Each structure stands twice: as C-alpha cells, then as structure tokens.
Amino acid sequence: MDIALRKKELVKEFSPMMLKPGKWSKIWIAILLALILGGLVAFVVQVTQGQEVTGMRDNVVWGIYTINFIFFLCLSYSGAFASGVLHFFNTPWKNAVSRIVEIITVVSLIVGPIFIILCMARLDRLHYLFIYPRIQSPITWDVIAITTDLIGCLLYLYLTFIPDFAILRDNSEGLPKWRKKLYTSLAIGYRDTPSQRRRLHKITKIMSAMVIALAIITYSVLAWIFSLTLQPGWNSTIFAPYFIVAGLYSGVGVIIIAMYLIRKYFKLDHYIRKAHFLSAGVILLITALLYGYFTFSEYFARWFSHKTHDANLLDTLFNDYFWMFILANYIGILVPIAIVFFKKLRTIKTITFAAVIAVVGLWFNRYLIVVPTQETPYLPIQDTRPEFVHYSATWVEWALSFAGVAAFVLFFMLLMRLVPIIPMSGIIDYEKKGKARRKGLTQQQQP
Amino acid sequence: MKDDKTTPSATNRRKFLKMGLLSGATTVAGASLLANLASEEELKASGEKIRVLTPEGKMVEVDAESINNYPEAHITPEESRKGIPGRKFVMVIDLSKCKNARTCVENCQKAHHLDYNEEYMKILLLQDHEEADPYWFPKPCYHCDEPPCVTVCPTGATFKREDGIVLIDNERCIGCKFCVTSCPYSVRQFHWSHKPKFDDTSQPYSPETGVPGEVGTVMKCDFCPDMLRQGKLPHCVSGCPMGVIYFGDKNEDMVTNGEETVRFSELINDRGGYRYLEHLGTKPNVYYLPPVDRQFPLERGFDVDEEIIERYKDVPYVQDMKEKGKI
Amino acid sequence: MKFNLFTYIAYILLFGLFLAPNVMAQEMNLRDYRMRFRFKTVKQPDQSRMLEASFIAANKKDRKDRLPVYGAEISFFNILEEEKVALGTTKTSKEGIARILLPKDQSYLRDEEGKVTLKAVFEGTDEMDMEEREITVKDVQLSVELSEKDSVQTVQVNAHTLDSLGVAIPLEEADVIISVQGMLSRMVMDEGTLEDGMYEYKMPIDLPGDMDGNMTVFATIEDHEDYGDVVQKKTVKWEVTNISNQENKNHLWSEVAPIWMYVVLTILLAGIWANFAYTISNLFKIKKEGQKLEQSL
C-alpha cells in the first residue's frame, strides 16, 4: 500500500469539510455569533450595573453561572478522562471518536472558567488572586488546578494533532497560503521517521496519563469547593467521587451527541458507526448506574438519618423543586438506563436521545446541588427583604449561559476547520497494521 | 507589646488637652475658648445628625460628633489587620430580655451607613422545638475562632485579627462570595450594585468601619472596632434599651451592657450561656443566655412596621397568630 | 433695578442657607417638655473637683423622647450667704452637659463647718425659664490602699474630713462602692458602708488584671448629701492575667497556611510540570530531527 498516496486521498476526502463552509454551516455560525453577541450585551450590562442585574442575592449568591461552570468543567474532565483512557490503553476503536473527545475537553475547559469569572463581582481585581494568594482557599486550588489542567490539555491536544498537521503540510496543494504556512509551522518538522514516531508516541502516552490525573484532581477540587463548607447538602464526604462519576456521565452524553451531529452533518457514517454508539451506549449505561447509585446514596443517607437541617433541605427539594428533582434525579437517570439496558432499544437515535436526557438531567442535578442548599441554610432566612429569599435567574444570566453554549459549539466548529475530525494518521496506522482485523471499527471502506 | 502603648496614650493625650483647657476654665475667657473648640469640631463632623434643643427653644438637628470619626489617626487597612493588642472581644446576648425593639439594628445601620433593608444585625424568630415558645434571637457576626469565611477567602480580603475580630478589607475583595456560602450563620451580605452613598469620601475608608462601601464586595457586622478604640461600646450594645447585649474583653473577664458590668465567666456559668450551633466547631465569640424567665411577652416584638412583620411570615407561630387575627 | 434687588436678596438668602447647612429648625412645642436641670460635683482622684450640670428636655408623654439642650450658657458659682464668686461659665454640649474642672488648690468660700456651697445657673432666655441648682458639700479625703493579707489582695478604703484645725474626722455612715476599671466600663465589686472612716474588701483571686498585669481599683462615694461625689483610685501590679499565650501557629484561617499544604502543593505541581517540561523538550527534539531531515533533503 502506498502510504503517500493514501494520505493524499484522505486529505482530499476531508478537505471539503475543512475548507468550504456550506450554507447550513454559515447559518449556524451566524446564529451562534448572534447568541454570543447577546451574551456580550448582557456582559456589558452586568459590568456596568453590577451583579444587581442577576438573580443572585444575599441568600443565594451562586446561581447558574456556578452551575454552568461546574457543568462545562465536568465535560472537560470527562473528555480528558475518556481520551486519556482511549490513548493510554490503545483502545481499538478509539480513532473515530478520540479527536471529538479531545476537542470537547479543551473547548469546555476554555468556556467553563469564563462562567466562574462572571460570578466574580470585581473583574478589575482578578489579578489579586495572584498578588495576594492564600493557599488554604479551595478557590486558589481551583485556579492553580484549572490553569495547569488547561495547559496540560492544550499540550496533549497539540500532540495528537501533530501527525495530521504533517500530513496536511505534505499534501497542501490547493490550500490557501496561510494554511500551508500554519500547518508547516505547527507540524514542527514531523516526518514520521521511526525515531520521531517513537518519541511522539512516548510523550503522548505520558500526557494521556497526565491528563487523566489532572482531570481527576481538578474536578475533585471543584467538588471540594462545595463539600469543604459546613452547609447542609454540600458538606458530604462522597462529593468528590460523586462529581467525578456525574462528570463522566454527562461527558459521555455530550460525546454521543457530538458524534451524532458530526456523523449526520458531515456524512461520516463509515467512520462513526453504529458500533461506536453501542459502545458509548454501554459506557453511558455503566456511568448512569454508578451515578444513580451515588445520587441515591447521597440523598438516602440524608433522608434516613434526617438531621434537622438535612430534613429541611429535603423538604425544600421535594416541595419547591419537586418537578426539577423528578426530572434530574429520576428521569435523568432512569430513562437513559431503561433505553440502553434493553438491547432491542439500542439504536443510534435512541442512544442519542438517552444522551440528551442525561445531559439535561445532569444540568438540573447541578442546579439542585447549588441553589436549594443556599435557600436552606442552618439559620432560617428571616428578617430579610422578601425578594432576597428565592433565586431565579434573570435574562442576563440566561443570555450569558446561552452565549457560553454557543461559544462552545463555535469553538468546536472552528477547530474542526483546522484539522479533520477523524485523525488521518490514525486511519493510516490502522490500515498499516493490516487488514487482518476485518471487524476493526475504523477500517476504511472505499466508497 | 510596644504597640499597645500607643493607643491608650493617644486617647489620654486628647483627654489631657481637654482637661487642661477645663482647669483653666475658671475664667470666662477659658470657657469661650472651649466653645470655640466645640464649634471647630462641629465643622469637622460627619454627616450624622442628632436632635438637640437650643436655648431659644428650637429643636434642631446638628452633626453628631465622633460617630465613625476617629479621634486620632486614621486606621488604614494594613493597620486594621493587627487588632487592638491584648484584647479578646466577646459578646453575650441575653435572649430573655430581647423584645425585637430593633434599636440595635437601627443604630448599626446609622453608624455603618446602611440602607433600611441592609442589616448587619438580624433579629430572627426561632423556635427550638414544637413545644417551645418562639423567642427573638439577635444575630450579629459571631467572629468565630475557627472562621470558615476566613479560611476560604482566596485573597485574604477577610481576616481574623489578634483581638478576635473578623473584618473585611473591601479594597481587596474580589467578590467571589465564597465566604458568603461558607458562613453557616448566613451573616455575610453583598453590595450588589453601586449606590450614591459609596461616593461620599468625606471619611477615608477603613475596614474598621466598612464605610464607604464598594460595589461588588462583601459586608458584615464588624463589632465596631472604631468605637472600641475610643473605649466605647459597639452601636448595637449602647443602643439597646433593654440591655440585652453585653460586650467586653474576655481577657479582662468583664462584659457590660452599658448599664451594668459583670464578670463574663460568672454570667456564662450562672445563666447557662451557650454558643449557637456549637457542634459545627466554628467556636463563635458570641454567647447566648437562654430565653428563660422572659421579661416581655413575645407579642411585644410585633410592634414594628408591617413590612418587618412580613419578614417572619414563614414562622409557624406567626402564621398561627395571623389566622387568629392577633397580628 | 427692582429685579436686581430681588436677585441680590435671593443670593443673600441662599448664601445664608449655605452658611448654616446643618442647622434646620423643626416644629416643636416646648410645653410638651419638662426641663431637667441637674447639678453635681465630683471630687476626682487627683483632688481636683469637677462641676457638672446636665440640661435635658424630656417629653412628658413620650419617655423615649429626650432632647439635650445644646449651647445653653451655664455659670457656676461658689456662694456663702451674700458673697458670690464666679467659678466659670461654659456652654452645654450636644449631650446637654456643661462641665468645668477646678484645680485641687482652688480656694473656696467655706462656712464654719467647712462646707462649700456651689451653684449652677442657667440665666434663661425669652423662651426658656431660668434654672438653678445648689449643692453644699464637705471636702472629703478619700484614700485607697491595696495590700496582701493571707495571700488575698485586700482593698482598704479610708475617708475623713478635716475640721478647721486640720484634725481628721473619720466619716461615718457613708456608702462606698468598690469597682475595678475595665476597657469599656467599670465593674462594681462591692458596696458597703464606711465604719469609723474605714472599709475593707477582699478582692477575688481569680479576677484578671489588664494585659500588662495591672489592676485599677476605684472607691467612690456617690451622690452623698454631705459630700457629693468623691472618687479615688489605685493601680497595683496584679499577678493574675488571662491572656492565653497562644502559639502563633499556622491555621487554616491564618495568613500563612499549614506547612503540609505548601509541601503537597509543591510536590504535585513539580511532578506535573516536570512531565510538561519533559514533553516539551521531546517536542524540541522532534523538531530538531525534522530540521536535520529538511537540510539533508
């Protein structure tokens, strides 16, 4: 097999989706940009008028910004975890999904921290975090962990991009000049020589292990922001593992959704196949069971021992937040389990549907962790103006939340323009290993 | 121990100055000199008003002296981190005497330039269990010895001083609100928006007063260290008409409510003093005396604005009273 | 011209308003208020004598409504029958208090029993009536001694007056209050009656002094019909202090964190960054190899 020719073929196959934005793609970008613009307007309003424009008040000081922050970070964490595992154990079918996962990891790690910054009222003093650091504060840990994690993930993502940059550089006929230049410099002279290859493989493996460790640390630190306080509902020893399992659950969900959309939009049916969905579905099932188990343990212990303040919290959850609780902790867990559990029900569409429910359910689960606890403190909320008691997000917060989601999708699309969404080097590697493994999932089927 | 001499001697110097003038006051000239001094102080006074009667029989409002005005040097944010040497401040709140008169709340609001709706001191209506009668429960900041709010602050904007007081430096606060969520007593509040009163720079900012406030920073009860430096009681203590709140230095073993001074250890041991939510391990410096042998019926506390009563609408007792039409 | 005059007047009026921005007259009816004019004299620890008049209007209906009279001129006199010596004049403060301090060597007009009559006078205005109060006091020599008896600190109060020949006459039947000075107030320890000009009180052994280990004990005679107010104090080295010598440990809440936190964080970060550095150095090696290849091509 002529590898050079095969590379050319692959570049030819993938370059349309990298180069020519289609009509729909343009419309999508316009919509996303509009959403981001809306978010910018909301941001300006918040900066000029203060956080008065949000729904946060003295009793509930952390609202959906914090929820989005946890949500995006958990995507990143689970992405890093999944991608690290795929690389580290050299999973056979990794090639089709590994790049999607890696991009999700990095993009959500960029979008997530924006929300925690929005939650800080004095953006002009952010640098105080570095000028007057206090090592005891979980926020300091968070700042250190997230920046380290972000650097690690970017480095890792870059490592996985290098072979493809090299292929693109070598087959850049007909590409615009700036792209040629960009690929040449980004490929840093990678020629796929045996020694280069060995070296790259070695450091990619190290970084994949590193990224798993970093993700676990970062997400545990995030869980500790809540569980190290004394508040009923937060002060829980299982919060860190609970957050990690929950993160995996929603992360797998988002990966499935992304796989579905990319497959459908770019018509990559022969790369991202049903088998991928089935495997992802099984992982979704496992994580759903784990997550359900943790959720049950968490609330069951509180309910069974019914300490006054825990009982008050459960009271709030089952009265003021009844439907949200049902949606997040019953539907959000049981429906995906039910769909994926029965073999007959497992189709690409149903698995994606289960993933959507899982992701939405998980967002509401985060809401139920963050907000009701603040509305049910140790001392009853009295002698406070009535409008300060309950939280409901305002348009500013919603606009910025949707802008965050839009930014996530937009970044994703932009990165997809830079490198093929299916790693070409991986396809070639796979083919080089011979066609013995006929059932191999990334095997090329010539159209 | 070098620092501790500066404060008392500084106040002494002022006293000495006045004494000197006064002892010369046997002549009319001396007296008029004193009058001049008074009018000079008037010019420097802050925006606080008190009502007085003039010899012409008119009631006028004049600037009150030394409310939040330092008698001596300005206490800078750096200085305010040290605390008053050798002191350990404690508060004892006698729940049997509180009738929700709210003068502590109002005095505090006046002194800290708070709005009608902002209160460092909150009065809760607590009920320990179904059989117990509810009681009024004033809640300042507890200035814990293991303060969770200080632990979690990422920039050291909130800090605990040697004298036990937990303060906020709003020039360093980044508004992350972690301290608000970590306080188990819901003591902390937030400046959600800019207010015109923040622009009043007639008084330089000090963490010891929290005035002027700043948008996007936290605020809370501060035990009025500016008053303590002058040897005066915090505004809530001096304002309380019932003598509910005792305040003092634990090292001296003395607390006072402005009328009587008693030994802290005796008060706590004889009256069964306790700290609220002791099991949390925060070690508060505010003690409560249980609401036994109450001096006022609970209903006396509802002699307040309609709007204030509304704030207790979730208390079962209040709902009960409303049904019976008693409130 | 007329217009000009008008504006001038307006300006002057406005200017006047600015001159007295913090004085605003309010509607009130003086008849609702009862004037409380009080006068007392306190003999201070340094033997000087303070004269204090307090002038407060109290609402007859509303007990809480008390208005200090501010800026009222109060004159103090020492009188003996027809003789009258002005001691000083001062204005009441915003708390409604007028005070003067007479030095310890002030000479007073005394009657044959050695009594001094003092008087405080408010002359009155068109709106307010004249007020005056008179008190007659005898000069008391009060002394406080602290001594250790059976390892208990004992306060000994001695009080006497001097007759015209300078012979000390011990006080009888006067109540004395023993108190100690705190940071914010004075704490009353004991109240008793002087017998033969003497009173003794045993201090509790566990009462802490101030942070320097000092204790200031006060003996006061309050509002006595013959002696007025007399205050005396004594500071002694007090062995009991309560200041817990807390070690300056690193707490979670202190400025500097517990050491293990720095250690763990350093190890973690060093480990992670070592890997990053290793990865980056390998990337450079790859680049170098690529450059070599390019050159050889």
> pLDDT digit string (tens) for A394-418?
999 999 999 999 999 999 988 888 8
Query: What pLDDT digit, counting tens, does each position of A1-36 carry?
Result: 577 888 888 888 887 777 777 788 889 899 999 999
Rounded Cα distance between B153 and B141, Å, is 17
Q: Residue B73: its pLDDT value, please? A: 61
Residue B92: closest CA among B282, B324, B323, B265: B265
Give chain B's residues under pLDDT 50. 1-47, 66-71
Mean pLDDT of C39-46: 90
Mean pLDDT of A415-433: 82
Q: Write the DSSP symbol of residue C32.
A: G
CB < 8 Å from B in window 237-266 of C? 241-243, 251-255
Amino acid identity, position A317: L
Residue of C nearest to B157 (CA): C255
Topology (CATH level 3) of domain C28-138: Immunoglobulin-like (2.60.40)
Residues of C in contact with B4 (CB under 8 A): 211-212
Distance of CA C177 to the CA centre of its chain: 19
Cα distances from A193 to residues A166, A189, A196, A408, C27, in angstroms, run: 12, 10, 5, 36, 98
Give the structural domain span for A286: 235-377
Domain ranges for chain C, please list them.
28-138, 140-237
pTM of the model: 0.85
Q: Write the DSSP symbol of residue B279.
A: G
Residues of C in contact with B253 (CB under 8 A): 207-208, 242
Q: Residue A348 class from Cβ within 10 Å (0-12 exposed, 13-18 middle, 19+ buried)?
A: buried
Name the residue facing B123 among A52, A378, A383 (closest C-beta): A383
Most B CBs within 10 A among C64, C123, C180, C184, hence the mutation to make, goes to C184
User: A139 and B181: CB-CB below 8 Å?
Assistant: no
Q: What residues have CB less than 8 Å from A288, skipping those under 6 apart?
A: A249, A333, A336, A337, A340, A358
Give yes or no for B160 touching C (CB within 8 A).
Answer: yes
Query: What pLDDT digit, counting tens, does each position of A222-281 carry?
Result: 999 999 999 999 999 999 999 999 999 999 999 999 999 988 888 888 888 888 898 889
User: C257 and A210: CB-CB below 8 Å?
Assistant: no
Most B CBs within 10 A among A126, A229, A391, hence the mutation to make, goes to A229
Count of the separate structural domains present in chain A: 1
Asked whether the CA dihedral B194, B196, B201, B206 is positive or negative, the reply is negative
Query: What pLDDT digit, counting tens, does each position of B164-193 carry?
Result: 999 999 999 999 999 999 999 999 999 999
Query: What pLDDT digit, counting tens, does each position of A189-230 carry?
Result: 888 888 999 999 999 999 999 999 999 999 999 999 999 999
Count of CB atoms within 10 A of residue C2's CB?
A: 5
User: A210 and C286: CB-CB below 8 Å?
Assistant: no
Q: Residue C111: its pLDDT value, please? A: 85
pLDDT at residue A83 above 70?
yes
CB < 8 Å from B in window 178-217 of C? 180, 182-188, 207-212
Name the residue facing C276 among A141, A152, A187 (closest C-beta): A152
Name the residue facing B153 among A57, A137, A381 (closest C-beta): A137
Q: Residue A121: its pLDDT value, please? A: 92
Name the residue facing B193 among A49, A126, A140 (closest C-beta): A49
Residue of B nearest to A62 (CA): B177
Q: Residue C246: its pLDDT value, please? A: 59
pLDDT at residue C236 above 90?
no
Above pLDDT 70, what percent of chain A? 96
Rounded Cα distance between C48 and C40, Å, is 14
User: Which subunits sit against C, judged by 3+ Cβ pairs under 8 A?
Assistant: A, B
Q: What residues have CB less than 8 Å from A11, skipping those under 6 apart?
A: A167, A168, A171, A424
- Report yes or no: B132 and B158 within 8 Å, Cβ to Cβ: no
Residue A94: closest CA among A349, A406, A430, A447: A430
Q: Residue B66: its pLDDT value, please? A: 42
User: B186 and A59: CB-CB below 8 Å?
Assistant: yes
Q: Distance (Å) from the C-alpha of residue B310 to the closest C-alpha of chain A?
A: 8
Mean pLDDT of A274-290: 91
CB < 8 Å from B in window 140-169 of A? 140, 143
Query: What pLDDT digit, counting tens, does each position of B287-321 carry?
Result: 999 999 999 898 888 888 888 888 998 888 888 88
Residues of C in contact with B59 (CB under 8 A): 25-28, 67
Most B CBs within 10 A among C183, C240, C252, hence the mutation to make, goes to C183
Name the residue facing C70 among B34, B54, B147 (closest C-beta): B54
Interface A-C, measured as beta-carbon pairs within 8 A, has a size of: 71
Q: Residue C274: its pLDDT value, please? A: 95
Helix (H) / strand (E) element for C85: namely strand C83-91
Region of poorest pLDDT, from A170-174, B296-300, C272-276: A170-174
Report the number of secondary-structure helices (H) and strands (E) in chain C.
2, 17
Confidence of residue C244 (pLDDT cuts 50, 70, 90): low
Q: Distance (Å) from the C-alpha of residue B28 to the closest C-alpha of chain C?
A: 6
CATH architecture of B79-289: 2-Layer Sandwich (3.30)
Of C19 and B220, the structure prediction assigns the larger pLDDT to: B220
Residue of A nearest to C290 (CA): A189
Q: Residue A1: its pLDDT value, please? A: 54
Helix (H, G, I), strand (E, B) or coil at A165: helix
pLDDT at residue C2 above 50?
no
Give yes or no for A135 touching C (CB within 8 A).
Answer: yes
Q: Distance (Å) from the C-alpha of residue A350 to the closest C-alpha of chain C?
A: 41
Rounded Cα distance between A424 and A9, Å, is 10
Cα(first)–Cα(last) distance of chain C, in Å? 103
pLDDT at residue C206 above 90?
no
pLDDT at residue A157 above 60?
yes
Mean pLDDT of A181-196: 88
User: Which subunits sit against A, judged by 3+ Cβ pairs under 8 A?
Assistant: B, C
Structure tokens at B211: 């005035």
Q: Residue B63: its pLDDT value, please? A: 66
- Report yes or no: A197 and C289 within 8 Å, Cβ to Cβ: no
Confidence of residue C34 (pLDDT cuts 50, 70, 90): confident
Q: Distance (Å) from the C-alpha of residue B11 to the closest C-alpha of chain A?
A: 34
User: A210 and C272: CB-CB below 8 Å?
Assistant: yes
Amino acid identity, position A42: A
Domain ranges for chain B, please list them.
1-44, 79-289
A55 assigned to some structural domain: no
User: B182 and A230: CB-CB below 8 Å?
Assistant: yes
User: C252 and B146: CB-CB below 8 Å?
Assistant: yes
Identical fold between C28-138 and C140-237: yes
Q: Distance (Å) from the C-alpha of residue A383 to the closest C-alpha of chain B?
A: 5
CATH architecture of C140-237: Sandwich (2.60)
Which residues of chain C are at the A interface, by a Cβ-Cβ cutoff of 8 Å?
252-253, 255, 257-258, 261-262, 265, 268-269, 272-273, 275-276, 278-280, 282-283, 285-291, 293-294
* Angle, helices A94-119/A424-432, rounded to nearest 10 degrees: 150
Mean pLDDT of A53-62: 93
Residue B223: closest CA among B213, B236, B211, B206: B236
Most B CBs within 10 A among C210, C253, C261, hence the mutation to make, goes to C253
Distance of CA A394 to the CA centre of its chain: 25
Name the residue facing A383 among B124, B156, B280 (closest C-beta): B124
User: C286 and A200: CB-CB below 8 Å?
Assistant: yes
